[in-house]
DNA sequence: TTCATTAGTTAACCTAGGTGAATGCAAGAC
DNA sequence: GTCTTGCATTCACCTAGGTTAACTAATGAA
């Protein structure tokens, strides 16, 4: 089977094509135009999204009004506010499309259905939240243990696709610095 | 019932004294002497601990050999490497006692038993991991959106117990700064 | 086409926090 | 009791990244 979602799930759990097709029938295809919202801060998160094409990103806005990019999801990655999705509390994140994107979405109700009929999915989604947790922990230690330059190099190495397809000011925000500083770092590096 | 663990669990889920007593029979009391380890980096986490007295803290060590405090657990709080505990992968954290401490521990096996016999516990522990995840997310945005001084003030306000009972260099590390800088900040504030 | 935005770059200057070293003080070890 | 070790403080100096502002190039709407 050549479906990218199937491949993505297969990386984490064992699942038959049959079960996957059942799962797929619970999802819906959808589109998000450039700059349109997938999740609005203050709403309860109803869907989890798999990015088929394009790029989505999540961010918070602090009391000073500054935006902080938290996650960037390129092709073949999942994105949502997992905490809000699982707890059904309101989201503190916004998720928006950086460019026109095609996504496959799964609602909370159908997520429950998938878990009930295909037990392995419970595990798959528990792994998703665990990974999100670990990502966040890693991020904290990366901020504390590395300079912005080191964090940028790390990103270039582990996520070249993000570097290629995302405007720099999003990347700067994701790294926790200003666009001018990223520009300065890049200048220094590519000399 | 006057048991602090009962109180702590009651804050998150509804549970009868009967069920709680069953749960309690699955736990063990233990002690950690000052500077002794509860969890060693590289081991699989076998226990989750409730701090009855004393203070425990978790930290990572980066490639440069610098220590970064991740969590500080005073009386009546839980501590463990939840990721390692649930996934049974090796831990990247060390957890040590800051002072002689009394803890109540629950093993992975007994955790499974508790979940099987008292379904509400599954929820309780899912909430623990969700909260840990949210804490970590909040921490990232606090680092990006606030100065060390603001982070310190926030800690004083929301966690005075930590300020009172933990030596300053641990707090500095938790805030992501050096002890000298915390000293400077405190001097500036208390003038 | 033209005018207005938005993105990226550069540069001068500023500041929060790091670094290294010195000092004083309290607590264990013996 | 002295010796040592660890913690907090202070100070002088340094540096990564923020700030402001100017300039350019690219995109987009009318």
Residue range A85-115, pLDDT digits in tens:
988 999 999 999 999 999 999 999 999 999 8
Average pLDDT over residues A170-187: 97
CA–C1' span, B66 to D26, in Å?
44
> A131: nearest CA in chain B?
B83
Q: What's the Å distance between residue B170 CA and nucleotide C8 C1'?
A: 41
Residue B126 has what pLDDT? 77
Contact of B82 with B135, CB cutoff 8 Å: no
pLDDT value of position A120 = 80
Contact A137 B141 (CB under 8 A): no
What secondary structure letter does DSSP report for B171? H
Mean pLDDT of A164-186: 97
Residue A163's SS3 state is: helix
Chain C: positions less than 7 Å from a protein CB are: 7-12, 16-21
Q: What is the pLDDT of residue A130?
A: 82
Select the more confidently predicted residue: A70 or A127: A70
- Residue A164's pLDDT band, with cuts at 50, 70 and 90, is very high
Residue of A nearest to B133 (CA): A133
Tokens of A183: 């520009």
**What pLDDT is attached to residue A122?**
79
CA of B161 to C1' of C11 (A): 47
Q: Residues of B with CB below 8 A from A60's CB? A: 141
Min Cα distance A61 → chain B (Å) is 9
pLDDT, one tens digit for every residue, chain B (191 residues) = 899 999 999 998 899 999 999 999 999 999 999 999 999 999 999 999 999 999 999 999 988 888 999 999 999 999 999 999 988 999 999 999 999 999 999 999 999 999 888 878 887 887 888 888 888 988 898 898 899 999 999 999 999 999 999 999 999 999 999 999 999 999 999 87
The single-letter DSSP state of residue B25 is T
pLDDT for A191: 76
Which residues from B are below 8 Å from A68, CB to CB? 140-141, 144-145
Rounded CA-CA distance A9/B72 in Å is 36
Q: What is the pLDDT of residue A26?
A: 97
pLDDT value of position A50: 98
Contact of A173 with A67, CB cutoff 8 Å: yes
CA torsion, ordered B10, B11, B14, B16, to nearest 10 deg: 10
Return the number of CB contacts < 8 Å for A and B. 75
Nucleotide at minimal C1' distance from the B178 CA:
C18
Question: Nearest nt to A167, CA vs C1'?
Answer: C7
pLDDT at position B127, please?
82
CB atoms A140 and B144 under 8 Å: no
In this prediction, residue A179 carries a pLDDT of: 97
DSSP A32: E
Which residue segments constitute the domains of chain B, with CATH numbers given? 4-120 (2.60.120.10)
Do B162 and B74 contact (CB within 8 A), yes or no?
A: yes
Identify the pLDDT of residue B122. Answer: 80
Quickly give A173 CA vs C10 C1' distance in Å.
Answer: 20
Strand D bases with any atom < 7 A from protein Cβ = 7-12, 16-21
pLDDT at position A118, please?
85
User: Are B129 and A129 a contacting pair at CB < 8 A?
Assistant: yes
Query: By 3-state DSSP, what share of chain A in percent is helix, strand and coil, each rounded to 5?
Result: 50, 25, 30
């Amino acid at each position: 089977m050549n479906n990218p979602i199937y491949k993505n799930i297969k990386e984490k759990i064992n699942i038959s094509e049959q079960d996957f097709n059942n799962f797929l029938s619970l999802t819906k295809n959808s589109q998000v135009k450039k700059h349109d919202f997938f999740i609005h801060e203050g709403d309860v998160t109803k869907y989890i999204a798999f990015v088929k094409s394009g790029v989505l990103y999540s961010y918070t806005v602090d009391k000073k009004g500054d935006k902080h990019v938290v996650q960037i999801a390129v092709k073949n990655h999942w994105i949502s506010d997992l905490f809000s999705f699982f707890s059904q509390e309101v989201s503190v994140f916004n998720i928006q499309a950086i460019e026109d994107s095609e996504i496959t979405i799964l609602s909370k109700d159908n997520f429950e259905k998938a878990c009930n009929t295909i037990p392995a999915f419970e595990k798959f989604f528990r792994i998703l939240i665990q990974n999100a947790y670990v990502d966040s922990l890693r991020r904290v230690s990366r901020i504390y243990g590395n300079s912005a330059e080191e964090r940028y190099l790390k990103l270039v190495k582990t996520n070249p696709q993000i570097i290629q397809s995302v405007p720099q000011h999003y990347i700067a925000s994701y790294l926790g610095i200003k666009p001018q500083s990223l520009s300065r770092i890049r200048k220094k590096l590519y000399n």
